[in-house]
Structure 1
Amino acid sequence: MSETVDHASLMDKINDKIHEYREDSSSSDSDSESSSAPKKNRLFGRKEPVHKVLGGGKPADILLWRNKQITASILVSVTVVWLLFEWMGYHLLTLVCHSLIVALAALFVWSNASSFVNISPPKFPEVILPEEMFLDLARTLRFEINEAFATFRYVASGRDLKQFLLVVLALWVLSVVGSCFNFLTLFYIVFVLLYTLPVLYERYEDHVDTAAEKAMIHVSKQYAVLDEKLLKKIPRAPFLDKKQH
């Protein structure tokens, strides 16, 4: 009887080992298939989700419409301000002064009426802006300005013709767009695009990435043809060659 039990337990152990081996082999096959599968190129070479690329947290939630009430209220408020300035001919200083007049008048009446009517007077919070916030803002602004100057100096040095052409094309497009709209309308368009394009891209990112990859391949081919037929024939300044050597 004991021999039968030992034999059965031995067979169970063998079956368990075979089962574990099959699971390991199937998992390794799946891992090899996943590793051998071609990785899709994401837009701008990103490797993280759109939410994390936008910084994560509440700002990314607002841009991606995770909290629809806050996002819609911000978009509606900016639209109302744009309509006041663009269609009704309002000015920024006039709007600020009128808003302050209405707020001060309401608080003044409320403070005086509280002594006659059984209501509590308004509480005015003490607002003290932290010094660290302005220092961080100044550091960030200083860093970005220095980066812009460094980029301008590198592009103007003539070392990268492709980047030079891209910068000139981008500035020309901005100049054309700026001639069609005033600064306020251009700011409003950029704001609306900022609140619509990320959420649309997150929803259709596979289609957009595929189309962008095809477009980049086509642009690279066209630039290679242009470089071969025209750009390489442009004589280079001798001092640039000396710098490269």
Structure 2
Amino acid sequence: MPINTSNIDLVIQFSLLVAGDEDDYTDRQLGPIHIIKYVYLADLSFARSNNGQSFTGIDWQFYKFGPWSQEVNARIEPALNAIHANRRQFASDYDDKEDWVRWDLRDDILLDEKRHVLPSAITSSLKPLIHKFGKDTPSLLDYVYKTKPMLIAAPNEFLDLSLEVDNTQKTLECAHTLRMNNLSNRKKKDFKQKLASLRELHKQKKTVAPKLVNPVINPRYDDVYDAGIAWLESLAGEPFTSCNITAKFSSDVWKSTTRKGDDVS
């Protein structure tokens, strides 16, 4: 799929306008690193409901700071200049780094206009993400690093957005439909009656107030208490001593199955 510059600009502008809708002025400012990640998340959301197809046509790559695209980076300034966004430049805290750039713009009418042009798959998912992470770089990077295309890829590899397409639920629904179709009318009736009974039982359990244990009003902090705490702590063994170590990992770690699970944290 060829790169669609208009779509890239549209997502960039929408991202900044959504941030501009925040109450706190400082939360309305986004830098290039934030904007690039939000364009990636927009493509990811679009791919989930479009068989892995990208909205922008970008070939995303696993680079230093997660998903990266030079094409998106190059479009930030012209896209935001086109809607007359405010550009601010700050001195970096690091001597070897370029100055920081932050953009902001609050325009409710323009935001509504962009929202109606973009697919709902993007607007419905991107807005809450921008509200949640905003310009919080560490949290945003942590989130994008844990997306499926990133967990499968190694540094410098291109990302496969089709991995976000989840057919599990559809498969389960189809299997359930097939099993029900193969049942006789009598078995279907029995199944529905048992299901209704389970639902009624669950409803009754929810109405019963749980019994709570009364808390100790005046806990005793005496020698017996101190001895018990000391004994519990002794079960952990000797305390750790602080030291500096250097760990080296094989490059094979990027393809390890431990990076591909749903419980990666």
TM-score, normalised with respect to structure 1: 0.20
**Higher Cα Rg, which structure:** 1
Say which structure is richer in strand: 2
Where relative contact order (Cα < 8 A, 6+ residues apart) is larger, the structure is: 1
